[in-house]
Amino acid sequence: MIGMKACGIIAEYNPFHNGHAYLLKAARAQSGADALVVVMSGNYVQRGEPAIVDKWHRARTALQHGADLVIELPFIVAGQPADRFAAGALQLLEALGCETLAFGVEKAANDFQTLLAKISSDLVLPQFEVDYTKTYATQWNDFIEAQIGHRIEQPNQLLALSYALANRELKSPLKMLPIERIGVAHDAVQSSDQFASASTIRRLLLSNQLDQAQRFVPYGLNELGQRWMSWSDFWPYLHYFLNVSSPDCLSSIYQMSEGLEYRFWEQNLQSTSFDDFLKRVKSKRYTYSRLRRLALYTLLQTTATEMKLDSAALQPVRVLGFSSIGQAYLHDVRKTIAPQLITRVTAELGKRDGVLGTQVRVDRLIEQVTGVEQNFHQRVLMMT
Amino acid sequence: MIGMKACGIIAEYNPFHNGHAYLLKAARAQSGADALVVVMSGNYVQRGEPAIVDKWHRARTALQHGADLVIELPFIVAGQPADRFAAGALQLLEALGCETLAFGVEKAANDFQTLLAKISSDLVLPQFEVDYTKTYATQWNDFIEAQIGHRIEQPNQLLALSYALANRELKSPLKMLPIERIGVAHDAVQSSDQFASASTIRRLLLSNQLDQAQRFVPYGLNELGQRWMSWSDFWPYLHYFLNVSSPDCLSSIYQMSEGLEYRFWEQNLQSTSFDDFLKRVKSKRYTYSRLRRLALYTLLQTTATEMKLDSAALQPVRVLGFSSIGQAYLHDVRKTIAPQLITRVTAELGKRDGVLGTQVRVDRLIEQVTGVEQNFHQRVLMMT
């Protein structure tokens, strides 16, 4: 089939739930695309923690419930602040030949469309002064409020805004297709019959309430392996690393600046758990997500050099799995799209510097914690 | 009491046993000194591992069974190769005003005295070429054999040789007092009724044969706290550290050279335990002790700068405990000896670079593993 059209989706599927299945279905219907191409975060997610289950379990559930192609959003994108996360993900979808970007928003309403229009034309982004009394996110929202008359408090809407901003930087911008989320607000405690946010489901899984969580996902929860990862798996290692480090050593970590190395070093000494540590380092200036990501960079000895994003940095692109439609799409576009696509990480590829080397390196901690190989001996998922 | 004389002893007491008690008794009798001053390794020992119990438990047993003053041999000395270990320990004893050095040897016999005489006069030390087929220790012994006609295979005798060599570098060399060890060879499996080597006792403790070990120590083994430390406590942290590192990062570790960073990095990937790792990195060129120390430097992120030994580097000197004789000796010599003596590590002292900062840093891993504070809130042991 020549000339297949693809709709791109940026996801974490942490874990995959009914809301995600709904979005895939709506995207297929509303985009008119032949294939749904998902770029999905690997083993680490944007809020600076491990995904609750590994990338293979998550990719499989997505392929079983609507995705045609699952591409790994590598750590150097998936672990970034929102603006770089959006930029890397959009670059990847553009490179993969997607025409449309479908994304969920809390309200796919007029004001968002107005904002999108504004963004695609004349909006000049501000450079914020360092302000130690407000987080970056708050300053952002102050700016948005000045543009559209009210604040955007919903996290998915903020993320969608980042997508729109990143999209206008592309050579061939994608068509933006906002799809209204159904179910509940992102962090609501109350849940409808079938829909709950991923964070609600994670809370249920981590507190071992599988019966409660089951109705929110379109598969048996036992398919996820029932080995939930969280920062509590990593805390002993971060605590050790900070215990034997010095503030000087920490200053070479990606985004460790403005004296945060001293704060991290000092507060670690008294901390008894990761939550305790995070509360101790929190200040008005930084959000919890920023600090969690910084803790993750520290744990993974992440440097600015390896996190530098440019078009070359994202190659080779890793295919985690595909349906028969996804396979046809790959076959169709392999010759026309730019990036090198791989379905297997060889030892040789894994040793190189760059996106795959970093991925293999950060995944080793997941392998140490779970005992499950993440790269070399994993086969691409074929749901054909 | 003015003009007290002191005999120095270099020890690890890992753990303190009947042989150590015997040596203290013999040293007191044969040296004619008023006070026995012990410099004892802190929480890490020279073979590159944690002491089986912490420095406080070990200092206490020494003070209860013959030592008058226990000074901490800091990590920057205690964790060094034999020649630097000896140099640092001798410098410390000289600075503490000791006239004599008592030490145990397997045979306090004529050939050793001959060697000592030779060492104190005309022996020129060789510079070994890099030889990848022999360990440094083997090359050393080849040299010794050429000097005295036979090899010195016993570890304590080799150590004593290092003491003698370090001693002749001092401004005021100490009188060497070799004392024949009683009981058994260092690593013998068979043990006499009361005497066994520290390594034999550690093996018994680590395999939970306390009844077997009890007769070899002059105190109830429960006084040691029964929480035995070994590399198995550290392996998860070393494994993690190497998992997320790169060979480039490792090259900044103290004594990581000659491509060992690649060997360490590569072999870690497949290793399932510390013993497994050590066997994988072993080659003809390096002894297990050298490799264990290197693993410890890696675990503790040790740099060449902080391990540099000079007379200033050893100050302030830390008193772990004293008997009434030890207290009198301290009172006597405080004004005449050079080093700053401290009995308490304040937060201020612990933050500084240098010997105490390093000590506090490396001890934090012990604190993480055992849950027992090692520095700030520990009081000097007074057996008065």
What is the C-alpha to C-alpha distance for residues A205 and B367, in angstroms, rounded to an integer?
Answer: 32
- Pairing mode, if any, of strands B317-323 and B381-383? parallel
Domains of chain A listed by start with CATH number: 6-107+154-226+310-383 (3.40.50.620), 232-305 (no CATH)
Is residue A153 predicted with pLDDT exceeding 50? yes
Given a cut of 90, whether residue B24 has pLDDT beyond it is yes
Distance CA A8, CA B348 (A): 56
CB-based contact B237 A237, cutoff 8 Å = yes
Model confidence at A129, pLDDT cuts 50, 70, 90, reads low
Residues 261-290 of A with CB under 8 A from B: 269
| Contact across the interface for A240 and B243, Cβ inside 8 Å | no
Q: How sure is the predictor about A356, in pLDDT bands with cuts at 50, 70 and 90?
A: very high
Question: Residue B209 pLDDT more than 60?
Answer: yes
Out of B53-67, B142-156, B206-220, B250-264, least confident range: B142-156
Whether the per-residue pLDDT at A236 is higher than 80: the answer is: yes
Q: What is the mean pLDDT of residues B267-274?
A: 96
Burial of B158 (0-12, 13-18, 19+ CB in 10 A): middle
Q: B301 and A365: CB-CB below 8 Å?
A: no
> Looking at beta carbons, which residues of chain A come within 8 Å of B363?
none
Task: Tell me which residue of B262, B278, B270, B234 sits closest to A364, measured CA to CA.
Answer: B270
Report pLDDT for A34: 97
When scoring B240, B353, B370 by the number of chain A Cβ atoms within 10 A, the one with the most, hence best to mutate, is B240
Measured in angstroms, the CA of B300 and the nearest CA of chain A are apart by 6
Q: Is B12 annotated as a binding residue?
A: yes
CB contacts of A249 in chain B (<8 Å) are 301
Instruction: Find the closest chain A residue to B271 by CA distance.
Output: A368
Q: How far apart are CA A207 and CA A106, in angstroms?
A: 27
How many Cβ atoms are within 10 Å of A371's Cβ, its own excluded?
A: 8
Mark yes or no for CB contact B243/A301 under 8 Å.
no
B45 DSSP β-pair partners? B49
* Mean pLDDT score across all residues of chain A: 89
Mean pLDDT confidence for B224-238: 95
Distance from C-alpha of A96 to C-alpha of A330, rounded to nearest angstrom: 9
As annotated, the binding site of A includes 10-23, 104, 156, 181-182
Give residue B189's pLDDT. 40
- Which residue has better confidence, A191 or B22? B22
B244 contacts A300? CB cut-off 8 A = yes
Task: List the single range of A9-13, A191-195, A253-257 with lowest mean pLDDT.
Answer: A191-195
Which of the 8 DSSP states describes residue A97?
Answer: T
Q: Catalogue the long-range contacts made by A212-218 (C-beta closer than 8 Å, 24 or more residues apart).
A: A216/A17, A216/A18, A216/A191, A217/A15, A217/A16, A217/A17, A217/A18, A217/A61, A218/A16, A218/A17, A218/A18, A218/A21, A218/A61, A218/A65
Closest CA to B364 of B43, B79, B71: B43
Contact A244 B269 (CB under 8 A): no
